Amino acid sequence: MTQMTDVSMSDEVATALAQGRAVVALESTIISHGMPWPRNADVAMQVEQAVRDQGAVPATIAVIEGQLCAGLTPDQVERLAKDTGVVKAASRDLGACIVKGLTAGTTVSATMRIAALAGIGVFATGGIGGVHRGDGMDVSADLTELACTDVLVVCAGVKSILDIPRTIEALETLRVPVAVYGADEFPAFYTAQSGVTAGERFDDARDIAAVWAANRAVGLGTGMLVANPIPAEHALDAREIGATIDAALAAADAQGVSGKDVTPFLLGRLNAVTEGKALGANIELVLNNARLAGRIAVAAVG
């Protein structure tokens, strides 16, 4: 592994960055906390291949025994996928992980922070966190990180379990540019429609890369959010998923589930109730985001 700016990078990632080639960061909580073994490891490899298919180099990001890493070995991916002792780390947790020598899957905020340290500017994930329903003070660190870390994030919108309109308002307050790829309406993770019109529409990855470059040129100093709707053939029924989410939120409240445990609890309930359809949709949207991120990254260095 090659050491640089406190991030241990695989030789492939380090070489690509040194040569000015396109690199796409990938988060690792989808491996450690998002899916069961062995599907989590298989999907991680599929997502990396989706990036490669676009001509970019994937850099899956995690913390391994206290070391920030960009670009994982197959053994490291397997460890994240199987080890029940792997923790979930947001950006605020990175210092503690380093000092304690912990192994952690990184959330959106932590992945953005490590990507920025490594010099990686494009990041693909599933969906970002945001403002939770009901409690307006429960706001994901993903939004704060987007406000202060210059990384372009491709996602399928805000997770459906959140308050999407208030999340969009928060992004506006934080000066985070929002672009929607190929649609006028902001997507809602499992579905392409949220009922919210937000962000500028772009139909070409090259235009998105140009906007990102322009934001940097004017010294905006924030990240950029690119919302990429789930393909129609993989989307879930909006009414059905809405009712399922409401029921899952009620169950979480009744069982006293709170903090960082809420999202995995709700996603687990959704997958169980939809008989695996939610997990299948999640996988497809992540792959779709990885492909778009790869094209944007290639355009950005071209």
Q: Which of 207, 81, 226, 220 is nearest to 152 (CA)?
A: 226
Could you list the residues known to form a binding site, using ranges: 88, 108, 138, 140-142
**Alpha-carbon gap, residue 26 to 130, rounded angstroms:** 19
The secondary structure of 174-193 as a DSSP string is TT--EEEES-SSPPBTTBS-
Residue 120: what are its φ and ψ, rounded to 5°? -100, 125
Could you list the residues known to form a binding site for substrate, using ranges: 88, 108, 140-142
Question: Is 277 a known active-site residue?
Answer: no
Selected catalytic residue, list 27, 48, 145, 185: 27
Could you list the residues known to form a binding site for Mn(2+), using ranges: 138
Cis peptide, bond prior to residue 38, ω within 30 of zero: yes
**Alpha-carbon gap, residue 121 to 113, rounded angstroms:** 10
Question: Is 100 a known active-site residue?
Answer: no
Each residue of 32-67: b (16+ CB within 10 Å) or e?
A: bbbbeeeebbebbeebbebbeebebbbbbbbbbeeb
Place of tokens 């990041």: 123
Selected catalytic residue, list 48, 145, 159, 185: 159
> Active-site residues: which are they?
27, 159
